[in-house]
Amino acid sequence: MVGATMATATVTAASPLRGRVTGRPRRVRPRCAAASGATETPAAPGVRLSADCVIVGAGISGLCTAQALATRYGVGDLLITEARDRPGGNITTVERPDEGYLWEEGPNSFQPSDPVLTMAVDSGLKDDLVFGDPNAPRFVLWEGKLRPVPSKPGDLPFFSLMSIPGKLRAGLGALGIRPPPPGREESVEEFVRRNLGAEVFERLIEPFCSGVYAGDPSKLSMKAAFGKVWRLEEIGGSIIGGTIKAIQDKGKNPKPPRDPRLPAPKGQTVASFRKGLAMLPNAIASRLGSKVKLSWKLTSITKADNQGYVLGYETPEGLVSVQAKSVIMTIPSYVASDILRPLSIDAADALSKFYYPPVAAVTVSYPKEAIRKECLIDGELQGFGQLHPRSQGVETLGTIYSSSLFPNRAPAGRVLLLNYIGGSTNTGIVSKTESDLVEAVDSDLRKMLINPRAADPLALGVRVWPQAIPQFLIGHLDRLAAAKSALGRGGYDGLFLGGNYVAGVALGRCIEGAYESASQVSDFLTKYAYK
């Protein structure tokens, strides 16, 4: 669902409801806050440190980059700095062990790709991995009913979400019987309507974009947001042609043997950890130990007189300056923009143009008997969750069946539902109270999943992320290239950009991007040693 930096796939009150709500709407500070009026002056006198690489931001991208540098490339002279007082960035796991609840208020799961599993194993978490049922259905709300999404090719002729003409249009388009590409960058909506037809877009892709990006598919770039699918048409002339060519190329270039340490998930599924996603950043931070510096606020970055960079920090122990051979900025682009403006106005301007809409994660629990009977499978709420197209008259973007997806998320007799609301088409959530958000979610759920006469929900948590997920809009790749090019023109070798606006919003892509960043830094440091 949302996130994938909020989620995978896909997917973070004085109430009229009788359910309990804890806390007030929380506004999340950026992982690194630039001091107002930062200038290109050396850091004030204070503690002076040095490192081969400083990673700015101890979210999942920064921590995984550090671990990849240490485990894969033997780079141990590292510092990871974080403005918040905890590691993990937007990964936020909350537990009430006395009541039997555990829930996520940011990303909720990940695709268990080999890079992600490698990171988990290297962090000592192999035995803590938990996998969802690969056969768990996913649903889309359409015309008042939750309809299953096809999970395998054999389902395609029979699922009720699309009409027979819609399925035929999609099949012909996938074969290449459709209008040619327009010769410009297409939005997700344009690409899907042209290749697969209106029904695939309206009933599958539009809600999927809401679930993954909390975004507007008429503005998202197909090339930037879903590059693997976009490339199929590029390499094969059609989606199916590209798929066949990709399979042929894979056969000609087989992968190296798989790491025998890695578990083998059964089928296409999602994963987490026994005690939630926070186990991963906490484990990495624990292994890195004193290399992770919390509550360190980066106030300036300047180029050193000889080589490398000098970073100035405000810390609980006072002012600190760090001389680094290389720097990776894994903080949000709008924060990096402020920090880098004294170095490169062009890079800062490019980074300031990425858009992050607000999203709220609303976690509620109902008694099992509150679920509509027609939504139960063998007497249980089963499945990954549900997505809601914007055309279907509900405000909630989607709902994850947290207690069905992974074990020990809710006490016996209760179901736990994580709901995402907001996004680029509903930015007004930032002005709503927790009570408003819980009531909106509860009202939506009673239209398709919860019995309208059921008792009020237990509202466990409401987390508002004012700037949640970077939108890969049309022109995204050009803006990213412009920022990197401006740094290159300025002679800022060894200063790298990373994080979810670079690698992708899903948690798995952040980890894969961390390995890519680590490789770039290692190559740079190798060349640096011979200068």
Per-residue pLDDT tens for 434-464? Answer: 999 999 999 999 999 999 999 999 999 999 9
CATH architecture for the domain at 93-135+356-465: Alpha-Beta Complex (3.90)
Q: What local confidence, expressed as pLDDT, does residue 531 receive?
A: 61
DSSP β-ladder status, 318-329 and 47-56: parallel
pLDDT of residue 8 exceeding 70, the answer is no
- What is d(CA 416, CA 367) in angstroms, rounded to the nearest whole number? 9
| Confidence band, pLDDT 50/70/90 cuts, at residue 10 | very low
How far CA 87 is from CA of 289, 324, 448, in Å, comes to: 12, 21, 38
Pick left, alpha or beta for residue 74 (phi over 0 → left; psi -120 to 50 → alpha; otherwise beta).
left
Residues of the chain with CATH 1.10.3110.10: 157-252
Q: What local confidence, expressed as pLDDT, does residue 45 receive?
A: 52
Residues of the chain with CATH 3.50.50.60: 48-90+280-355+471-527
Please list, in sequence order, all residues whose beta carbon lies within 8 angstroms of the beta carbon of residue 504, skipping any fewer than 6 positions away.
4, 510, 512, 513
Per-residue pLDDT tens for 134-146? Answer: 999 999 999 999 9
pLDDT of residue 337 exceeding 50, the answer is yes
Does this model's pTM top 0.85? My answer is yes
| Confidence band, pLDDT 50/70/90 cuts, at residue 1 | low
- What is d(CA 330, CA 29) in angstroms, rounded to the nearest whole number? 15
Per-residue pLDDT tens for 215-252? Answer: 999 999 999 999 999 999 999 999 999 999 999 998 88
Per-residue pLDDT tens for 18-52? Answer: 333 333 334 333 333 333 333 333 434 578 999 99
Query: Could you tell me which CATH class the domain 48-90+280-355+471-527 is placed in?
Result: alpha beta
Q: How many CB atoms lie within 10 A of CB 213?
A: 35
Q: Are 1 and 385 in contact (CB under 8 A)?
A: yes
Per-residue pLDDT tens for 374-426? Answer: 999 999 999 999 999 999 999 999 999 999 999 999 999 999 999 999 999 99
Question: At which residue do the structure tokens 């008792």 appear?
Answer: 455
| Confidence band, pLDDT 50/70/90 cuts, at residue 151 | confident
pLDDT of residue 183 exceeding 90, the answer is yes
Residues of the chain with CATH 3.90.660.20: 93-135+356-465
Q: What local confidence, expressed as pLDDT, does residue 16 receive?
A: 29
- What is d(CA 1, CA 10) in angstroms, rounded to the nearest whole number? 4
Per-residue pLDDT tens for 278-313? Answer: 999 999 999 999 999 999 999 999 999 878 999 999
pLDDT, the chain, mean: 91
Per-residue pLDDT tens for 338-385? Answer: 999 999 999 999 999 999 999 999 999 999 999 999 999 999 999 999
Q: Which amino acid is at 174?
A: A
- What is d(CA 216, CA 196) in angstroms, rounded to the nearest whole number? 18
Question: At which residue do the structure tokens 């194993």 appear?
Answer: 121
Sign of CA dihedral 41, 47, 51, 55: negative
Q: What local confidence, expressed as pLDDT, does residue 9 receive?
A: 33
- Classify domain 157-252 by CATH number: 1.10.3110.10
